């Protein structure tokens, strides 16, 4: 792990004295999710993705690409470990918009800092925390005009909730069993190749901003902020510029 190169990729300088605390963790997550895009170009192009740390570093840092949750959180977790954090990878169930309990197909990180355990996630294209959320039941964690909290469930385990249109809704859930890279291979393969996967049919990009996020689904560009959503249907000659907004090349 070339820590200096990774920090440069996300717009940060390597501190002279690295203190793996919650404050630095907050800065790292925000920097990562506002510079490294959520994107599925390899899946669309039929290029198999590797979850090994060396391959993720080469893709995300050297080639300045992005990826989906298995890649982004895997890579971010490797950076955090190199900086001195204790990190546990977990498999999560994405609950937002679901009417039944779905399979586990999301990767999240639990990170230990001196003041407790924190959920870190830089691998979601939709609205999600841009800073870590402390693993405490019932306490609200407002950030960037959004609000999050945890509840406990006998089956689902820890359930992250977000406040949406005047009500709390389930976002995703996880149980505390640590996962290895090998445990995510089948889940990643499902996202790459299964006909029911939502990730392998249309290009989808997302990048967090200070006010919300920008997305590109096919040729539909959207910008989300506190004032609402702007939507633009792009002509072919506009696509290269749109790709560049995510740090990508058409």
Segment 123-146, tens digit of pLDDT: 999 999 999 999 999 999 999 989
pLDDT tens profile 51-107: 999 999 999 999 999 999 999 999 999 999 999 999 999 999 999 989 999 999 999
The confidence score (pLDDT) of residue 226 equals 83
- pTM for the whole thing? 0.95
Q: Tokens in use for 23?
A: 């404050």
State the chain's mean pLDDT as an integer: 96
Q: What is the mean pLDDT of residues 173-199?
A: 96
Q: Is 103 exposed, middle or buried (0-12, 13-18, 19+ CB in 10 A)?
A: exposed
Domains of the chain with CATH codes: 3-197 (3.30.2140.20)
Q: Binning pLDDT at 50, 70 and 90, where does residue 240 land?
A: very high
Contact 74, 89 (CB under 8 A): yes
Q: Is the pLDDT of residue 156 over 90?
A: yes
- Which pLDDT score, from 0 to 100, does residue 227 have? 87
In the block, tokens 């859930």 appear at 173
Q: Is residue 162 very low, low, confident or very high in pLDDT (cuts 50, 70, 90)?
A: very high
pLDDT for 56 equals 98
Q: Is the pLDDT of residue 250 over 90?
A: no
Which residue numbers are catalytic? 69, 106, 121
């Amino acid at each position: 792990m070339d820590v200096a190169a990774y920090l440069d990729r996300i717009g940060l300088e390597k501190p002279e004295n690295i203190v793996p605390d919650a404050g630095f963790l907050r800065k790292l997550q925000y920097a990562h999710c506002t510079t490294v895009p959520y994107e599925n170009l390899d899946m669309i192009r039929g290029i198999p993705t590797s979850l090994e740390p060396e391959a993720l570093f080469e893709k995300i840092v050297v080639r300045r690409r992005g990826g989906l949750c298995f890649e982004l959180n895997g890579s971010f977790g490797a950076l955090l470990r190199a900086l001195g954090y204790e990190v546990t990878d977990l498999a999560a169930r994405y609950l937002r918009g679901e009417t039944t309990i779905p399979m586990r197909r999301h990767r999240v990180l639990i990170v230990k800092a001196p003041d407790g355990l924190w959920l870190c996630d830089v691998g979601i294209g939709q609205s999600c925390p841009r800073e870590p959320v402390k693993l405490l039941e019932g306490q609200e964690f407002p950030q960037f005009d959004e609000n999050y909290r945890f509840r406990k469930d006998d089956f689902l385990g820890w359930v992250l909730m977000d406040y949406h249109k005047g009500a709390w809704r389930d976002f995703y859930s996880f149980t505390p069993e640590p996962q290895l890279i090998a445990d995510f291979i089948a889940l990643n393969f499902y996202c790459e190749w299964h006909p029911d996967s939502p990730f392998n049919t249309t290009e989808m990009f997302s990048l967090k901003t200070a006010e919300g996020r920008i997305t590109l689904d096919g040729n539909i560009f959207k910008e989300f902020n506190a004032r609402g959503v702007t939507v633009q249907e792009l002509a072919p000659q506009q696509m290269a510029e749109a790709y560049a907004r995510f740090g990508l090349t058409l």
